[in-house]
Amino acid sequence: MKIIHTIQELRELLHIWRAERNTIGFVPTMGFLHDGHGALMKAARQDNDRVVLSVFVNPTQFGEHEDLEAYPRDLKGDAKLASSCGVDVIFAPTPEEMYQNPKAFVDIVDLSNTLCGVTRPIHFKGVCTVVTKLFNIVQPTRAYFGEKDAQQLAIIRKMVKDLNVPITIVGVPIVREADGLARSSRNTYLSAEERQAATILYKSIQVGKEQIKIGMPASELISSMKSVIQGEPLARIDYVSVVDAETMQIVEFIDRPVLVAMAVYIGKTRLIDNFSYTIGR
């Protein structure tokens, strides 16, 4: 497995692979890889001749007071896991390699004005821009995204559709710890006590999954999920919302495929989680 830091060198390698008519699977990440990323890499390995992983902590998707500097990094550890998942090349550019005083951006409207877009107003513009740049650099056959970041996945799907990007987007189910906590690079911020408290997100999801089947309106579902979370003193709710699975707009009556999503601070760490629901499925 190779590790490449420049766009030029990666393009030269990809040029050869494309000339050999290889299909290319692409997994974009911010690194500090765990089994959640592992599921994406394994899916890409299964579906494609070649697998490209990017490791890039993208500055343009972090707000001013967010954790850009503190975000955990470990390229050596990432290389170990990536290699065991069958990745052919890691693309790990510097911020300077990716951005030189940029004036062009890719943005998405409406889908980014709910859920995480409310507290992180510039986040999805940064994501859409870097993903577009990475798509243009790698030009993969398929690209893999986790359902853990469900709003991001919906936004990428819509962006690819609207801009006629010739790449198949593949969503991969959430990978969880044994106690239900969704795997996340940010889980490393949690103290032992906070790690225990963080299981409250999954507990409220389990309650939500049971209650949504009864057919209650979204507002009642949200109240009962919120009251589970409020039982944990270290937890502070950012949002618990029910949105249309495609448009990401708030719904009250659960009469279509929906996403039930939450962001909760455990101490200073902001964690997200979600589940999808379609009546009768």
Query: Under the rule (CB under 6 A), what is the footprint of ligand AMP?
Result: 29-30, 36-37, 39-40, 145-146, 148-149, 172, 174-175, 182-185
Could you confirm whether 37 is annotated as catalytic?
A: yes
Q: How far is the CB of 148 from ligand AMP (least distance, A)?
A: 4
39 vs 254, which CB is nearer to ligand AMP? 39
**Nearer residue to ligand AMP within complex by CB, 154 or 218:** 154
User: What's the per-residue H, E or C state across the chain?
Assistant: CEEECCHHHHHHHHHHHHHCCCCEEEEEECCCCCHHHHHHHHHHHHHCCEEEEEECCCHHHCCCCCCCCCCCCCHHHHHHHHHHCCCCEEECCCHHHHCCCCCCCCCCCCCCCCCHHHHCCCHHHHHHHHHHHHHHHHCCCEEEEEHHHHHHHHHHHHHHHHCCCCCEEEEECCCECCCCCECCHHHHHCCHHHHHHCCHHHHHHHHHHHHHCCCCCHHHHHHHHHHHHHCCCCEEEEEEEEEECCCCCECCCCCCCEEEEEEEEECCEEEEEEEEECCCC
3-state DSSP of 37-75: HHHHHHHHHHHCCEEEEEECCCHHHCCCCCCCCCCCCCH
Q: Which is nearer to ligand AMP, 134 or 242 (CB)?
A: 134
Nearer to ligand AMP, 33 or 254 (CB): 33
Active-site option among 5, 15, 34, 37: 37
**Nearest approach, Cβ of residue 118 and ligand AMP (Å):** 19
Q: Which is nearer to ligand AMP, 58 or 141 (CB)?
A: 58
CB of 280 vs ligand AMP, minimal distance in Å: 26
Q: Smallest distance from the beta carbon of 81 to ligand AMP, in angstroms?
A: 12
* Least distance between ligand AMP and beta carbon 138 (Å): 15
- The closest residue (CB) to ligand AMP is 146
Residues with catalytic annotation? Answer: 37
